[in-house]
A and B are shown apart, each in its own frame.
Chain A
Amino acid sequence: MSTTAQEPATVGTERRLTITEAIREGIAEEMERDPRVFLIGEDVGIPGGFGGAFGVYLGLPERFGHERIIDTPISEKAIAGAAVGAALMGLRPIPDMQYSDFLFECMDELVNQAAKMRYMSGGKLSVPLVMRAPVGTANRGAQHGQCPESYFIHVPGIKVVAPSDAYVAKGIIKAAIRDDDPVIVFEHKLLYGSKGREQAGGMDLTAHVPEEDYVWPIGRAMVKRVGTDATVVATHLTLYRALAAAEELAAEGVSVEVIDPISLQPFDLDTVFASVERTGRLLIAHEDTLTGGWGAELAARVAQERLYSLEAPIRRVAAHDVPLPVAPVLEQAVVPTQQRIADELRLLLA
C-alpha cells in the first residue's frame, strides 16, 4: 500500500461537499451504473419522510423508485437477513441501520450468516452487501451513540471501513458496493454536515469531491498531516480532534503526523509502520471504548513488528470503559477530547 496516500490536488473547479452529499452521490452513481444495487432499511424512502435517519437518501426514491429504495418494518433482523439473501442471489444490497447501536439486533445475520456463507460453501458463494451504520456520540446517550467498529474487526469474513471525509466517503462507498464481500461502513454522525464543526475542533468538514468516477480502495490509509516527531492514528471525530491537537502542538514546536486508517479490516499496517519508523512514537486515538478496541490490536501489531523503531511506549487514548452519558459535560469526560489527545501527545514526547 502507498505510504504517502493523500487526497489528490484539486483539478478544475473546486466542489466542496459534505459527507452526506458525498455518500448520496456515491450511492446514486453506483445505482445508476449497476441495476443490482438497491437500498433497504427503515424510513429510507417514505414520501415526506427523512431520507434515512440522517437525510443521506433524500432525492433517491424520486430518482430510482420504491422498488430499489425499500422501506421496511422496524425489523433489523429482517433487514439484514434480506440483504444477506439477496446478496447470495447476486444482487448488491445496501442495508441501512439508522444507528450502529441497532447492529446488535442483527448480529446473527451479520456474524453467523453474512460473514460465514462464503467460507461454509467452500468459496462457491459471495455476500456482496454494504451495511451503513452511523456511530458516534452526539448527546444521544448509551444506546444511540456507540462506536461498535471493533466488534466487527473480530469477525473473519467481514470488512470494516470508517471514512471521515467527503472525498474518501464517496470513494469508499463506491468501492464497498463493488466489493464481493460484506462491508460495514461506519460513519460518524457529527461529521455528516457542517453542524459538527465546533465539536471537531473548528476543522472544515467539507472536502473537494471530484465529479468523475473514482474509488478509494478498501485497505488503504491516508496521511492527513505529515510530521516527524510522533504519529497519531485516529478515525472519525477523533481524527479531527487529533488534527487540532497536532496544530496545538505545532505551536510548541512539535511536528505530529496524523494518519486516518479509513479501513479497519483490512488495515493498512504498512502506512503506520512506515510512519512509526520515521517518528518513533505512536498514539492511537478512537471514540470506541479502550478495552478490546481496534487500537489494542494495532498496538500489538506495531509492538510485534516495529518495537525497535519505537523510542517510547505506545499510548492509546479512547473512550473510557463506561456506557455513554448524555449530559454534554459528562459525555466529553468520556470520549477523547482535543485536550486529552494533546496531553497524551505531550506524555508520549516527554
Chain B
Amino acid sequence: MIEPIDVTGLGRDEALVLYREMLRIRRFEDRVYQLFLKGELPGTLHQYQGQEAVAVGACQALGPDDWITSTHRPHGHALAKGVTVRSAMAELYGKATGCCGGKGGSMHLGDPSVGMLPAIAIVAGGISVVSGLGLAYKLQATDQVALCFFGEGASNEGAFHEGLNFAAVQRLPIVYVCENNIYGASTPFHRTSLVPDVANRVAGYGMPAVIVDGMDVVAVRAAVAEARDRAQRGEGPTLIEAKTYRFAGHSRGDARGYRSRDEEAAWKEKDAIERLGLAITSAGLGSEADLADVLADVNAELEDAVEFARSSPDPDPADALTDAYATAIAIGAAL
C-alpha cells in the first residue's frame, strides 16, 4: 500500500518538476541497464533506482553556483544537478560528446559548467575534496554552498573523520548528504557499525545532523534548504542522513543474495516517485494524464539521448594522451 507524501504548500509546477526530475533518473537507469545488457555500454554500472528523492530533493534546494561532489553511483546526482541527458548518455557510451569526453565514464560523470566535479569513485574521497570547495567559498566570501553526497559506508572511512572535523572547526559552508541505503556493496551497515544512524556519529564534531525520509523528495529538499541557509549564514556544515534504498544491486551482475525479497518489497512500497505521483493526483495538483505526459516527455528525451550517443563519434585515440597536465609535458621529456 503506497502512502502519498505530504505536499502541503507545494505548487503544481513545482510538484511536476520534482516528479519529472525523479522520473528522468529512474527511466535513464532502466534504459541504461537494458543498453548495458545488450552490450552497447563498456565497463560497469552502479545504479541509482530507488534513491531518486535524495538526489532530486538535494539538488532542487541548491543554487546554480553551488557545486556538488558525487560517488561511484553518480548518474542520479549528475542528472539532478543539470548534466544533460545527452552528454551523460554519451559519456556512458564512451563517446567524444560525453560530458568528460570519454575519459570519465560511468563512475566519473560530472560537468563543471553545471557545478559538478567529476564523480569521485573512491569511497569518502569526496568528503576530503569538498572541504576545499567550502574553504574556497569562505575565503572568497561568496554565498555559494558545496554539497557532498556519500553513502553510509563512507562513514567508516578515515576521511569522514578528518573531513567533517575540519569542516566543522572551520565553519565551512557545506551540506553533507549521507544516503544510507543500508548496504555497502553486500555488507549491511549493522555489521560494520554499532550505531544504526550515521547522524549519531556527527555530534562528536560539534556539527548538527538530521535524519530525513530519503523516499520523500519534499522532505529531503526542505532539510537541505535549511542546511544551506545555515551554511550561508556562516554557521557551518550540517549532515543530513537520508534513509533510502537502492532497488538494484550494488553493480551489474549483483544477484542480491544478501537481502530478502520481502525487504525489497517493503521498500518498493515507499517508492519516492509513486508516492509523489499519488500525492499530486490526490491533492489535485495534476491528473493521471499530466503524469503520463511527463513520462512520455522523459521517454522521448531518453530516446533522443540514446540516438545522440549512438551516432556520436568515438574520441580520437590521440586524445588519450592529452589532459594529464594543464601545461604540456612532452612525453619524451617526462621520466
Interface set of A (CB-CB < 8 Å, partner B): 1, 38, 40, 67-68, 70, 72-73, 75-78, 80-91, 93, 106, 108-109, 112-113, 117-126, 128, 153, 156-157, 159, 179-181, 219, 264-270, 294, 297-298, 301
Q: How many residues of B contact A (CB 8 A)?
A: 52
Q: Which of B100, B112, B131 contacts A82 (CB 8 A)?
A: B131
Name the A residues within 8 Å of B326 (CB-CB): 118, 126, 128, 179-181
Q: Would B103 and A122 count as touching, CB distance under 8 A?
A: yes
**Is the Cβ of B135 less than 8 Å from the Cβ of A82?**
yes
Residues of A with C-beta under 8 A to B130: 81, 85
Q: Which residue of A lies closest to B330 (CB)?
A: A266
User: Smallest Cβ distance from B283 to chain A, in angstroms?
Assistant: 41
> Within 8 Å of chain A (Cβ to Cβ): is B258?
no
What is the CB-to-nearest-CB distance from A41 to chain B, in angstroms, rounded to a whole number?
12
A121 contacts B129, C-beta separation under 8 Å: no
State which of B22-30, B114-122, B176-184, B304-312 sits at the interface with chain A. Answer: B114-122
Within 8 A of A (CB), among B242-295: none
Q: Tell me if B104 and A121 are in contact (CB < 8 A).
A: yes
Contact with A along B106-137 (1 / 0, CB 8 A): 00101111000110101001011111111111
Q: Are A267 and B112 in contact (CB under 8 A)?
A: no
Query: Which of these, A84, A91, A121, A153, contacts B118 with CB under 8 Å?
Result: A121
Q: Check B324–A73 contact: CB distance below 8 A.
A: no
Name the A residues within 8 Å of B140 (CB-CB): 91
Give chain A residues whose Cβ lies under 8 Å from the Cβ of B113: 124
Residues of A within 8 A of B102 (CB): 122
B1 at interface, CB cutoff 8 A:
no
User: Using a CB-CB cutoff of 8 Å, which residues 320-335 of chain B contact chain A?
Assistant: 322-327, 329-330, 332-335
Tell me how far the C-beta of B145 lies from the nearest C-beta in chain A, rounded to whole angstroms.
12
**Bound Cα distance from A317 to B1, whole angstroms:** 75
Min distance, Cβ A171 to any Cβ of chain B, angstroms: 16
Name the B residues within 8 Å of A93 (CB-CB).
132
Choose from A75, A180, A266 the contact partner of B166 (Cβ within 8 Å). Answer: A75
B169 on interface, CB distance cutoff 8 Å: yes
CB distance from A228 to the nearest CB of B (A): 26
**Interchain residue pairs with CB less than 8 A apart (6):** A88-B129, A156-B324, A179-B326, A181-B326, A265-B334, A266-B333
User: B117: which A residues are within 8 A, CB to CB?
Assistant: 88, 117, 121, 125
Q: Is the CB of B335 within 8 A of A298?
A: yes
Known contacts A73-B165, A118-B326; A81/B129 CB under 8 A: yes
- B163 proximal to A (CB < 8 A): yes
Is residue B162 within 8 Å, beta carbon to beta carbon, of the partner chain? Answer: yes
B159 within 8 A of A: yes
Is there an interface contact between A73 and B169, defined as CB atoms closer than 8 Å? yes
Decide: B132 and A118 in contact? CB cutoff 8 A.
no
Cβ–Cβ < 8 Å partners of B64 in chain A: none
Chain A neighbourhood of B98, CB < 8 A: 122
Please give me the residue from chain A that is nearest to B163 by CB atom: A78
Residue of B nearest to A268 (CB): B333
Q: In the docked arrangement, what's the CA distance between A118 and B101, Å? A: 12
Q: Determine the distance from Cα of A121 to Cα of B116 in the docked complex, in whole angstroms.
A: 10
Partner among A68, A76, A106, A157 whose Cβ is within 8 Å of the Cβ of B324: A157
Residue ID in chain B nearest A112 by CB atoms = B122
How many angstroms from the CA of A106 to the CA of B100 in the assembled complex?
26
- CB of B313 within 8 Å of the partner chain: no
Contact present for A120 and B103 (CB under 8 Å): yes
Q: In the complex, which residues of chain A have a beta carbon less than 8 angstroms from the beta carbon of B63? A: none
Contact A118 B128 (CB under 8 A): no
Please pick, from B67, B125, B127, B325, the residue contacting A157 in the complex, using a CB distance under 8 A.
Answer: B325
Min Cβ gap B29→A in Å is 21
Q: Check B327 against A113 for contact (C-beta < 8 Å).
A: no
Q: Which residues of A contact B195 (CB under 8 A)?
A: none
A119, B326: Cα distance in complex, Å: 9
Min CB distance A243 to B, Å, is: 23
Chain A hits for B111, CB < 8 A: 124
What's the least CB distance linking A181 to chain B, in Å?
Answer: 5
Contact of A84 among B122, B132, B139 (CB under 8 A): B132
Residues A122 and B323 in contact in the complex (CB < 8 Å), given A113-B125, A117-B118:
yes
